[in-house]
Amino acid sequence: MTKFLLWCILLVLCWPLALLALILYPFVWLLLLPFRILGIAVEGVFELLRAIIFLPARVLGQPRQA
């Protein structure tokens, strides 16, 4: 919603730039897509490492609740 309102303001102030932004937005999104996928993969690796490191503490440190 915020992006749309900012685009509307840009449309009022400078309509050629707003139309250019409207045309270029899908291309920029496609260009940035591999970096988003890479970020998700790196975040997954860090979460896996965190889970492996904290596993002994979780197994030995917490008493069982009945």
pLDDT at residue 64 is higher than 80: no
Return the pLDDT at 60. Answer: 84
Long-range contacts of 46-51 (CB under 8 A, 24+ apart): none
Return the pLDDT at 65. Answer: 67
Report pLDDT digits (tens) over 10-61. Answer: 999 999 999 999 999 999 999 999 999 999 999 999 999 999 999 888 888 7
DSSP string, 39-66: HHHHHHHHHHHHHHHHHHHHHHHSPPP-
Report if residue 52 sits inside a domain: yes
In the DSSP assignment, the letter for residue 66 is -
Which residue bears the tokens 């920029």? 28
Report if residue 66 sits inside a domain: no
Return the pLDDT at 56. Answer: 84
Report if residue 26 sits inside a domain: yes
Return the pLDDT at 59. Answer: 83
Domains of the chain: total: 1
